[in-house]
Amino acid sequence: MPIDPYILLMLGTVGLAALVPARDTAADAVSGASTGAIALLFFLYGARLSTREAVDGLKHWRLHLTVLAATFLLFPLLGLAARGLVPVLLTQPLYQGLLFLTLVPSTIQSSIAFTSMARGNVPAAICAGSFSSLIGIVVTPLLAASLLGGGAGGFAADSVVEIVLQLLVPFVAGQLLRRWVGGFVSRHKKVLGLVDRGSILLVVYAAFSEGMVHGIWHRISPARMAGLLAVEAVLLAVMLSVTWYGAKALGFGRADRIAIQFAGSKKSLASGLPMASVLFGAQASLAVLPLMLFHQMQLMVCAVIAKRRSRDPVDASDTSDTSDASDASDTSGSGGEPAGGEVTGRAPAAGSRTAVGTGTRSR
């Protein structure tokens, strides 16, 4: 279970911010560049998302509602329940970061890769992750305004307007211009993927530089860090179990349950980092720390689960050849989430496939 190389780059960026934080005029320049990078990031997300695929994915509405309920209802409820761990295991700032973690959208790219590896419903995973990211641009700020309020450092309800301007407007612009720029984006996926990743690293540097200047890192002790890791391990275990067995109770077949488990149990670093930068200001570095740790944890654990699922016997009645998982994985490159440390590259072809809208009921 190797560490995601992109996480190592992020840790290196954090180290750079600790040694050489941006101050005064340099801080203003980095902040402006970070704002522009965030806008570009979400413009590219909008340009990649295929509207036709999103509409087609609505046919499997029960699966998507299940994933959305796990992402934006169950996760936040568990985050609120963790309030009782303050101050025993978590400090108030770490708890704010943990609660923010539970509010961000699901991943796209890693959900597709793991669903394909486990021989699940890949098209459903693509649509579920895309819907979660799209809805999260609006829902996450609203949930943050409601649940975090003014207690999260510089965050206030007015930040919803700011996030609409910095995230939603560029995203909508990308969708509107997709007809003209979509082809260019598809032809230069690898180069633009590097732009995505570079934008995220710039956001990380800006956030952690500001945190260093304000001295917030002195608030975290090794014991508190260990407590945070333990809480996140329990959170991930609960969500993996609930999404798997809950989907079975709702009557979904094996392929759909795999998609629900991987799309409903993970959180997106690529979406969460820019949102935290907008919402938290000087407190952003503490706010994204739980998300960065959870991201690496979910990749390692889900890789093991996907490998085990790939060896499970599959009932012939729960398979279908009406969709091509490989093609679906390629489609995610134009409508997915290639940045933020997600699993990248082409997802392995699924051994069995279930088309969107054809999930069977488990026996």
pLDDT tens digits for range 29-53: 888 888 888 788 788 877 877 767 6
Q: What is the pLDDT of residue 82?
A: 94
The SS3 of residue 337 is: coil
Query: Averaged over 315-341, what is the pLDDT?
Result: 42
What one-character DSSP code corresponds to residue 177? T
Q: Per the structure block, which two tokens stand in for 344?
A: 């990248």
pLDDT over threshold 70, residue 295: yes
Confidence of residue 113 (pLDDT cuts 50, 70, 90): confident
Phi and psi dihedrals of 202, rounded to 5?
-65, -40
User: ω before 5 within 30° of 0 (cis)?
Assistant: no
**For residue 200, with 0-12 CB atoms within 10 Å meaning exposed, 13-18 middle and 19 or more buried, which class applies?**
buried
Q: What is the pLDDT of residue 246?
A: 97
Query: Averaged over 85-95, what is the pLDDT?
Result: 89
The residue whose two tokens read 């992750």 is 129
Most confident of 90-104, 210-224, 316-330: 90-104
pLDDT over threshold 80, residue 54: no
Query: Averaged over 57-79, what is the pLDDT?
Result: 91
What is the tens place of the pLDDT at every residue in 168-218? 788 888 888 988 988 888 888 888 878 877 887 888 888 778 777 766 666
Q: What pTM, to 2 d.p., does this model score?
A: 0.74
Could you tell me which residue, 204 or 79, shows the higher pLDDT?
79
pLDDT over threshold 60, residue 165: yes
Name residues whose C-beta falls within 8 Å of residue 48's C-beta, 6 or more positions apart in sequence: 174, 182, 185, 333, 334, 335, 336
Query: Averaged over 236-246, what is the pLDDT?
Result: 97
